[in-house]
Amino acid sequence: MRIDFVSLFPEMFASVLSSSILKRAAEPVADPADPSKVRGAVVGYHLHNPRDFADNKHNKVDDTPYGGGAGMVMQCQPVYDCVMAAEAQQPELIATRIVLTPTGVPLSQPLVEELAQKPRLLILCGHYEGFDQRLLDELSPLEISLGDYVLTGGELPAMVLADSVVRLIPGVIGKASSHECDSFSPGSQRLLDHPHYTRPPQWRGREVPGVLMSGDHKKIEAWRREQSEQLTRERRPELLAGTLRVAGPATRSVAAVSTVVIRDAHEADYDAVDAVLRSAFPTDAEARLVRSLREAGDAPIELVAEANGQVVGMVLFSPVTIEGGDGRLRPLGLAPLAVDALWRGRGVGRSLVRQGVRACEQARAGAVFVLGEPGYYAPLGFETASGHGFSNPYGVDEPFRVHPLKTDLGPAGQVRYAPAFDGL
């Protein structure tokens, strides 16, 4: 993998990229069991400074914002020229462009896993008030946020992103199991990791749990699973039970932090769901679609997000028939996904999708995504899978990793929607 950093302060990266695992990943390393076997470097780091592309004698790359206001804005041309020059190096490696910004999609382990499979990442590090929006419109980078707080620049988040990605590249960490069962990872079923202990068996009156020294691997595994579930239930219940702890909108009289519950929709919710759909989309087509699907019996999985007794989001899966070269499949397709405007940006939509896919998994049904615009679904972590739909990076064992909409079914592949779609 090649990682390019576009930064006004490239000197900030030196100590991080030249230390520990990030350093080892960029160097040839001999196999401890057989020193004659040496694996080559698996990643290369490249730093680029937009100041080198400024067209003024002071290498100035920022200016005051149109419309007034505090702070400075990074200009389009120096950054754009810097990106083009960087990508001209090894142009055969197509770069996945990324910008670190508080307005981006939250960084998550499933997203990191997806990025670790890319051949090249180009990470834009903003500063001041960020980039001119026209630059972002032109480059169309994936916008990623580390969390609901603001830093002085994108350099520290870029290093965090690089560390989280590089450690997943095969060959970087000796044992793949070292990271496959980490918190949020597939091996832990996306839950929090269990507690860990090492020697000595007693320290300051505290003992290692006896089961870990019993030698009974089945009991140890059961204990670890129980601890993982308990810790997740106490600290991150949305990962286990379809609930989400989020900050409530300031414009409503709700507590500073609210519990959003993801649950099955009931008939009593339908009017509220209709209201959410009408507020989320420019026409009533989606609300009419959902009603039609229910009337036709084509809404086997419908979930709502509820906060303080109010429906603030919904998602629905409906049957589609996919015909391809190797026969017919009957998975479920995503119909409208909607979140109340005041609750967007808090992970409600992502949790609706994830809980919906779990429901599909329990029903032994595949999930494919066949509706919507990339600009709406991309912030949730989707990537275009074909001209017909979208796939998702949450994990290889989850059902939306099925491939009916991809080209491996052959050019004859077609998508047929449920009957309720026909009149829309």
pTM reported for the whole predicted model: 0.59
Residue 31 predicted with pLDDT over 60: yes
By residue range, what is the domain housing residue 25?
2-166
Judge whether 202 lies within some domain. Answer: no
Where a domain ends, among 166, 192, 226? 166
Task: With respect to residue 116, please indicate whether it lies within any of the assigned structural domains.
Answer: yes
In a domain, 190, yes or no: no
Percent of the chain with pLDDT strictly greater than 70: 75
What string of H, E and C letters represents the secondary structure of the chain? CEEEEECCCHHHHHHHHCCHHHHHHCCCEEECCEEEEEECCCCEEEEECHHHHCCCCCCCCEECCCCCCCCCEECHHHHHHHHHHHHHCCCCCCCEEEEEEEEEEECCHHHHHHHCCCCEEEEEECECCCECHHHHHHHCCEEEECCCCCCCECHHHHHHHHHHHHCCCECCECCCHHHHCCCCCHHHCCCCCCCCCCCCCEECCEECCHHHHCCCHHHHHHHHHHHHHHHHHHHCCHHHHCEEEEECCCCCCCCCEEEEEEEECCHHHHHHHHHHHHHHCCCCHHHHHHHHHHHCCCCCEEEEEEECCEEEEEEEEEECEEEECCEEECCEEEEEEEECHHHCCCCHHHHHHHHHHHHHHHCCCCEEECCCCHHHHHHHCCEECCCCCEECCCCCCCHHHCCCCCHHHCCCCEEECCHHHCCC
pLDDT for res 415: 41
Final residue of a structural domain among 166, 185, 208? 166
Q: Is residue 332 part of a domain?
A: yes
Q: At 282, is the pLDDT very low, low, confident or very high (cuts 50, 70, 90)?
A: confident
Instruction: Please check whether residue 231 lies inside any domain of the structure.
Output: no
CATH of the domain at 52: 3.40.1280.10
Residues with active-site annotation: 102, 129, 167, 182
Range of 98-107, 182-191, 345-354, 392-401 with top mean pLDDT: 98-107
Determine the pLDDT at residue 238: 66
- Domain membership of residue 180 (yes or no) is no
Question: Once rounded to an integer, what is the mean pLDDT over residues 108-121?
Answer: 89
321: domain CATH number is 3.40.630.30
Q: Do 12 and 161 reside in the same domain of the chain? A: yes
Please report the pLDDT score of residue 232 as a whole number.
Answer: 82
Q: Based on the fold, state whether residues 15 and 148 are members of the same structural domain.
A: yes
Of 166, 201, 235, the residue that ends a domain is 166
Same domain, 127 and 275: no
Number of structural domains in the chain: 2
pLDDT at 314 over 70: yes
For the stretch 33-69, pLDDT in tens is 788 888 889 999 999 999 999 999 899 999 999 999 8
Residue 136 lies in a domain: yes
Q: 368 or 403: whose pLDDT is higher?
A: 368
142 is a domain residue: yes
How much is the average pLDDT of 174-200?
76
